[in-house]
Structure 1
Amino acid sequence: MNRHLSAATAAGELDDVAPAWDGDNGQWWDWYMSLAENGAAPRLLEVPPPDPGPLPDDDAVAAELEVPYEVPPGVVEAFAADGFVVLPGVVSPGAAEVLRLRLADLLGAAGTDSGLRAREMLWLADPLVRAAVLSPRIAGISAALLGVETLRLYHDSALCKEPGAGRTPWHRDAHHFPLASHDVISTWMPLQPVPAAMGPLSFARGMDTWRLVEDLPFDKVGTSYDRRVAETLREAGVAVHEEPFALGDVSFHSTLCLHTAGANATTRPRMVLGATYYADGARVVDQPTMVSGDWQLFVPDTAPGEVAASPRNPVVTSP
């Protein structure tokens, strides 16, 4: 039994995720983080705070994110082949620090069982987060990588992995998002440098690599699924991109891309602003499951099978 599950979500077989999630998304994150295999607690590494220089005001950050980003040659092709890309200099050090401070205020200091503090839909509460999440710069990169003209927002995510917090389990977002489309892309914008010890996002290379694990039974109670995915990737010789993030780097990954994130074995919190976008016209799947959390918070007043186009799913505009 997993203590984060209600009687309704724990019922049935270990791989039975058909019940709807019946808690909030903070509880969902505590449950999901409990599915990652972790070793002994590491000794925390001291890391210095970043020095971003003079900080811009909110208007300057928003203006920066209005400017198009020139996607380098070969990046679109690399994304199609690998399922992810990491791009340098998407945000300036000053903009990253301003966003980090804002997310710290918005998340507050409440503790969690997992050591991961998370909130979604902050774009509805804060103009600066709204400017970042709906920015033409991020939208332009995302649309170019997917090769679609019009994207909508699924949700944003403020993720703070506290010192000592453990791994995020191996997964692919298509298993989570209740969207009947593979034209879905997620961004991961760390708001400080992320050395290896801080737990950067890591990706299994290959857009179709997920097929190696599609028949593995999911374990909603323990860590066996996470362990079996890692074993399968090793046995198949799949290359895993697990590189540090420099300040200003932003990653973009497909909903099909298998990915994980390491434990934060440093003395500083790891703050990230993430967001997920999907091609306009996508529908909600016919049977959302507990793995999608409280998805109706993100796509309200929309029934399974209907087009996901609520007021909380605005069109994001490329430059």
Structure 2
Amino acid sequence: MNRHLSAATAVGGADDVAPAWDGDNEQWWDWYMSLAENPDEAVGLMEVPVPDPGPLPDDDAVVAELGVPYELPSGAVEAFAADGFVVLPRVVSPGAAEALRRRLADLLGGPGAAAGLRAREMLWLDDPLVRAAVLSPRVAGIAAALLEVEILRLYHDSALCKEPGAGRTPWHHDAHHFPLDSHDVISTWMPLQPVPAAMGPLSFARGMDTWRLVADLPFDKVGTSYDRRVSEALRVAGVKVHDEPFALGDVSFHSTLCFHTAGANATTRARMVLGATYYADGARVIDRPTMVSGDWRLFVPGTEPGEVAASPRNPVVTRTPSGCT
């Protein structure tokens, strides 16, 4: 029995995810993080330098920066289509990253008694700086350009704070999570500080079709066997894993089909990330969402399974010829 599961979600076998999630999404994250395999022995935390971002810009300056379209490097669209992900340099300036980091820290509040991964979604509804970031011509525009889709909608944003000593995020692909009937779904991962190897950068299994190698593995809603089996299957198949540190300003974008994981934060500094997920306009909610989708009705309220996902909480971002909104 997994202590994070309710009586309703614990029913059935370990691979039975048919029940709807009946908690909130913070509880969902506690459950999902418990499915990652971590070493038994304690690891000492590494001191990491705190970068000097220079003068802190005000909100208007950050919004203005994010309003400038980003010029994709040559081959980025092709690399995304082949690998399922791309990491882009200098998407945000050090000052903008620090301003967003401080804003997310304020919105999340201080860590609880048992620090782990703290997460909160839909901050864009309440905070204008987060709203400007996730709907910006720069960030959302890159997402549209990489997918080569003219009109996207926001599924949700996410503030993810992995506290010092917090463990791994299990191997997964987002197609298992997001209850959408489209593969034109993309997520961004914007770390708001440098992420050295010891801090647990997001890591990606190369190959848009790599998910097929593990498609038949049974999911484990109770323990860590799925995480372990995916890791072993990728190793046996010789799949290359991109597991590189993120420099300040680097932002990654990954497909809903891309298998990815993140290491433990073995440093003394919290790892703060602003994430967002976008999907092609016209996508529908799948007929049978499961507990793996968490409280999905928070993100597309008033939408029933089988209906088009186009609630007021899913604003449109459009692609222009320059690849921006």
Pairwise TM-score range, normalised by the shorter structure? over 0.9
- Stretches of structure 2 that go unaligned for 5 or more consecutive residues are 319-323
Q: TM-score, normalised by structure 2?
A: 0.97
Q: Which residue of 1 aligns with 2:59?
A: 58
- The separation in 2 between residues aligned to 1:110 and 1:307, in whole angstroms, is 37
- The separation in 2 between residues aligned to 1:304 and 1:103, in whole angstroms, is 32
2:8 partner SS: helix
- Stretches of structure 1 that go unaligned for 5 or more consecutive residues are none
Q: Which residue of 1 aligns with 2:5?
A: 5
Q: Are positions 1:228 and 2:233 aligned together?
A: no
Q: Are positions 1:172 and 2:168 aligned together?
A: no
Deviation at 1:112, TM superposition (A): 6.8
> Would you say the 8 A contact 1:120–1:155 is kept in 2?
yes
Deviation at 1:29, TM superposition (A): 0.3
Paired residues, number: 319
Alignment of 1:291-310 (within 5 A): 291-310=292-311
Decide whether aligned partners of structure 1 residues 187 and 245 sit closer, same or farther in structure 2, where only a CA change above 3 A counts.
Answer: same
Q: Which residue of 2 aligns with 1:130?
A: 131
2:9 partner SS: helix
Q: Which amino acid aligns with 2:153?
A: R
- The separation in 2 between residues aligned to 1:201 and 1:262, in whole angstroms, is 7
Deviation at 1:64, TM superposition (A): 0.5
RMSD after superposition? 0.8
Deviation at 1:41, TM superposition (A): 2.3
Q: Which residue of 2 aligns with 1:91?
A: 92
Q: Are positions 1:81 and 2:95 aligned together?
A: no
Q: TM-score, normalised by structure 1?
A: 0.99
Q: Which amino acid aligns with 1:9?
A: T
CA deviations on 1:122-149 (whole Å, 9 max, x unpaired) are 0001000000011011121111110100
CA deviations on 1:63-86 (whole Å, 9 max, x unpaired) are 100100000111100000000000
- The separation in 1 between residues aligned to 2:263 and 2:111, in whole angstroms, is 22
Q: Are positions 1:139 and 2:163 aligned together?
A: no
> Would you say the 8 A contact 1:187–1:275 is kept in 2?
yes
- The separation in 1 between residues aligned to 2:164 and 2:115, in whole angstroms, is 11
Deviation at 1:114, TM superposition (A): 6.3
2:138 partner SS: helix
Q: Which residue of 2 aligns with 1:155?
A: 156
> Would you say the 8 A contact 1:34–1:114 is kept in 2?
no
- The separation in 1 between residues aligned to 2:314 and 2:120, in whole angstroms, is 17
1:291 partner SS: helix
Q: Percent identity?
A: 86
Q: Which amino acid aligns with 1:122?
A: L
CA deviations on 1:173-214 (whole Å, 9 max, x unpaired) are 000000000000000000000000000000000000000000
Q: Which amino acid aligns with 1:203?
A: F
1:132 partner SS: helix
> Would you say the 8 A contact 1:114–1:165 is kept in 2?
yes
> Would you say the 8 A contact 1:216–1:225 is kept in 2?
yes
Decide whether aligned partners of structure 1 residues 112 and 34 sit closer, same or farther in structure 2, where only a CA change above 3 A counts.
Answer: farther
Q: Which residue of 2 aligns with 1:274?
A: 275
Decide whether aligned partners of structure 1 residues 33 and 10 sit closer, same or farther in structure 2, where only a CA change above 3 A counts.
Answer: same
> Would you say the 8 A contact 1:30–1:113 is kept in 2?
no
Q: Which runs of 4+ in 1 moved over 6 A?
A: none
- The separation in 1 between residues aligned to 2:72 and 2:229, in whole angstroms, is 36
CA deviations on 1:148-173 (whole Å, 9 max, x unpaired) are 00000000000000000000000000
